[in-house]
Amino acid sequence: MSVHSAPARRGTNLPRVGDFNESVVLEAIRRSANGMSRVELARATGLSAQTVSNICRRLLDRGLVEETGKQSTGAGKPRTILTINPVSRFAIGVHLDPAVVTYVVLDLEGRVVEGLRRPTPEVVDPDQTMAEIGESVGTLVERAGVEQDRILGLGIAAPGPIDAAAGLVVDPPQLAGWVRVPLRDHLADATGLPVILDKDVTAAAIAERWAGAAANTGNFLFFYLGTGSGMGIVVENSIVRGASANAGEVGGLDANCTTRALVEEAVATGVLDASHTTTSPHASEQSLQVLTGLAEQGHVGATAILDGWAGRVARGVAAAATLLDSDLVVFGGPIWPQLSSWFLPIATDVINRSPFVEKMHPTTVTETALGADVGAIGAACLVLDRTLSPQPESLMFS
Amino acid sequence: MSVHSAPARRGTNLPRVGDFNESVVLEAIRRSANGMSRVELARATGLSAQTVSNICRRLLDRGLVEETGKQSTGAGKPRTILTINPVSRFAIGVHLDPAVVTYVVLDLEGRVVEGLRRPTPEVVDPDQTMAEIGESVGTLVERAGVEQDRILGLGIAAPGPIDAAAGLVVDPPQLAGWVRVPLRDHLADATGLPVILDKDVTAAAIAERWAGAAANTGNFLFFYLGTGSGMGIVVENSIVRGASANAGEVGGLDANCTTRALVEEAVATGVLDASHTTTSPHASEQSLQVLTGLAEQGHVGATAILDGWAGRVARGVAAAATLLDSDLVVFGGPIWPQLSSWFLPIATDVINRSPFVEKMHPTTVTETALGADVGAIGAACLVLDRTLSPQPESLMFS
């Protein structure tokens, strides 16, 4: 038996501790409903009064927080309340779905300050699409009226597989011609901003954690339904990205629910006529609208297709929830609003009745409160998360 | 959209940094093949020469490391080499499988100093079984000739579900009468040692990381085959335990391969006669030996049963490997040695040919090098991991 040879973990030192503690204080202020006094901050973070005082001074100097009032405590002098200054910094999020590109500007409280939506160009030319994305980001920032030096960065959520280290979109099933495309560096050049690239499903899960339904748990799954589908996974407060940042593929769970597959089944069973035979992601989405419209009118065949897919997805989600001991499942994504009325009741029922869902605790099934923009909001949250959240790993020398 | 209200992350300070850096240095020495000089340690950990020197002094004082030679570097005076003193501390591991209880004493290099195996008592009386386990630990320590004050603690690996916070075995399918049994506290009382309780599959994965095949990856799955089956999951260097420390259930993946299910299928298909109808975990294991013996002699029906289960398990593992972007799958557990010659080639083939296994990197399929003791070794590694490894979370105030 030999001991192993993975790279040694690195040590830490005082300057790194200082940066970390600053993030801890900022996060405590940001998360509080009505701001916090220095005394409350010291109690919440475990830091000394002196350390909290120094950190607050730096955060005030940088404009990230404000003194917004006094809190009377009966005896003694009133305490000054610190709140986040939500419009002191912003992040941009871009969500590239094969059918639609969504853009948002987010403030520090996770509010959408400005948004934009454009059909994904139906050209097999990533350069042209990237140029359009760059232009749209410019339009977005102009409309938002936000100064460039207040923008922390740009996050981009793309369909997998991606090469996270190199910033490439590798070869997604429904983005024709996108083979190892350097989307991250292209957008960095086009916008002059620091850019982070991640998978759409991962971004959606981060959105839910920052600003959505996953407030009170560190163990949840986000089932994403767009042109493709997949899962964003959070375990013990950490996003699961895996060996190559491509975690979240659900094909092996028989839960890969794509717009194309739904429409193809409808054509194959005669629910939709042959004119709906899928050509592009955008055409698929329009055909799906016809399919869900039929189901809304009570069409038996259309309803059966949606119910069948809802059941398969739910069984896959139940398998993953048991494997990972999750206590919350959130559904969302660009086509979720069209599917929710069929999928949500079936998914809730199947997951709760699954003999494999852990008996130790209930599993809550819900849908995102962030709407169809969840991918773009998540992309912006990638920036907020990396820039502002305390990251224990950041303590170690790199 | 409201920001969320999970408990605030806590800050850190200098004493915690000191403890963390000490763990970092100890781990670097422990992992090195032939020891390290102080200069090499400073380079590997990023710590200053002075910090490394102070930490080495403390580790020498506590006997955890030794100065074992000089390294000539050409110019200048030779450097003193520090190596781990493997027999300065020990950990005890106990693996409770419904058929067999395995005990080991492990040294700091993960070597088994002493081992013991006892059939699990076939009584519906956890108190009696716990008393026997306590006595066996006493026997083990006596045989090993290890002083009590050199034992860091005792780890126990049990079938799930468990209540990790309370230290309970909750109600495992094949341990009759074990309903919310306080196994952790009972063994702490019986042995006077600090005790950690975790799931068998989780312990096995930790063993593989400390002393086995998972040396060079932070993203792997351990498929455990004992009286029951399940998966130990490591993602980005962290063990995945989930909301209630019960991660790893594979029933939803249709990969729940139990000794009982194998034998029942053999009886149902006439491969084994009715005398093998399962009664106890121990009897099932003996029947399984008959079944694998028949397969070894070329019995078609016996082979078909084993091949069928191998395929189902492999498909479940492939689904999980894609979901979690793992690049290594390790098989092992108490009954793995009996099944390996059928399962390993089929699993390797199915996982590598799976259309869902990630195209970004190959997925290696292998078996544990730790043998049938992997659960007990893992239980002891729970202690080593918590006591000696650098834990970034330990930096934060609790």
pLDDT in tens, A252-283: 999 999 999 999 999 999 999 999 997 789 89
Q: How confident is the model at residue B185 (pLDDT cuts 50, 70, 90)?
A: very high
Give the residue from A211, A179, A237 showing the smallest Cα distance to A93.
Answer: A211
User: Could you tell me if A10 lies within 8 Å of chain B, comparing CB atoms?
Assistant: yes
Q: In this predicted structure, what is the pLDDT of residue B14?
A: 74
A246 CB-contact burial (10 Å; exposed 0-12 / middle 13-18 / buried 19+): buried
Record the tokens describing residue B334, joined without a space.
Answer: 């108490």
Instruction: Supply the pLDDT for residue A7.
Output: 53
B20 with A12: Cβ contact below 8 A: yes
Average pLDDT score over residue span A298-326: 96
d(CA A95, CA A154): 11
Query: Are A246 and A172 within 8 A, CB to CB?
Result: no
CA B7 from chain centre, in angstroms, equals 30
Helices B374-388 and B200-211 meet at what angle, rounded to 10?
70
The b/e string for A11-26 (b: 16+ C-beta within 10 A; e otherwise) is bbbeebbeebbbbbbb
CA distance A263 to A244: 31
The answer to whether residue B111 scores a pLDDT higher than 80 is yes
Q: CA–CA separation, A308 vs A346, rounded Å?
A: 9
B360 to chain A: nearest residue by CA?
A244
- By the 8 A CB rule, do B279 and B174 touch? no
Distance of CA A135 to the CA centre of its chain: 23
- The first and second tokens of residue B340, run together, are 């390996």
Contact B44, B36 (CB under 8 A): yes
pLDDT at B4: 35
Burial of B271: CB neighbours in 10 Å, binned 0-12, 13-18, 19+: buried
Which residues in A lie closer than 8 A to residue B238 (C-beta atoms)?
A: 236, 238
Q: Which residues contact B214 (CB under 8 A, 6 or more apart)?
A: A4, B205, B208, B220, B222, B234, B328, B330
Interface contacts (A, B; CB < 8 Å)? 287
- Helix residue spans in chain A (DSSP H): 14-31, 38-45, 49-61, 126-144, 183-191, 200-211, 259-268, 281-296, 300-324, 336-353, 374-388
Give residue B2's pLDDT: 32
* Angstrom distance (rounded) from CA A321 to CA A366: 14
pLDDT band at B398 (very low <50, low <70, confident <90, very high): low
Look at B25 and A11 and tell me if their CB atoms are within 8 Å: yes
Number of Cβ within 10 Å of residue B4's Cβ equals 17
Percent of chain B past pLDDT 90, that is, above it, reads 75
Q: How far apart are CA B284 and CA B263, in angstroms?
A: 7
CB within 8 Å: A30 and B396: no
- Report yes or no: A264 at the B interface, CB cutoff 8 Å: no
Put simply, whether A277 touches B (Cβ < 8 Å) is no
**Per-residue confidence at B335, pLDDT binned at 50, 70, 90?**
very high
Average pLDDT, stretch B259-282?
93
Query: Residue B326 CA to chain centroid, in angstroms?
Result: 17
> Mind listing the pLDDT tens digit for each residue in B130-177?
999 999 999 999 999 999 999 999 999 999 999 999 999 998 988 989
pLDDT for A19 equals: 85
A5 versus B62: the higher-pLDDT residue is B62
Residue A292 has pLDDT above 50, yes or no: yes
Does position B237 have pLDDT exceeding 90, yes or no?
A: no
Quote the tokens at residue A305: 């297709």
Query: To which H or E segment does residue B116 belong?
Result: strand B112-119
Q: Does residue B355 carry a pLDDT above 80? A: no
Convert the pLDDT of each residue in A131-145 to its tens digit.
Answer: 999 999 999 999 999
Query: What would the mean pLDDT of A331-349 be, rounded to a whole number?
Result: 95
Judged against a pLDDT cut of 90, whether residue A319 lies above it is answered with yes
Nearest CA in chain A to B374: A1
Model confidence band, residue A8 (pLDDT cutoffs 50, 70, 90): low
Q: Return the pLDDT at B3.
A: 33
CA distance B141 to A175: 62
- Over residues B30-47, mean pLDDT: 92
Neighbours of B237 (CB within 10 A): 13
Identify the closest residue of chain A to B40 by CA–CA distance: A8
Q: Does B180 lie at the interface with A, CB-CB under 8 angstroms?
A: no
pLDDT at A243 over 70: yes
Residue type, B172: P
Domains of chain B, first to last = 14-84 (1.10.10.10), 90-205+376-395 (3.30.420.40), 213-368 (3.30.420.40)
With vertex at residue A273, the alpha carbon angle to CA A272 and CA A277, rounded to the nearest 5 degrees, is 90
With a cut of 80, say whether residue A3 has pLDDT above it: no
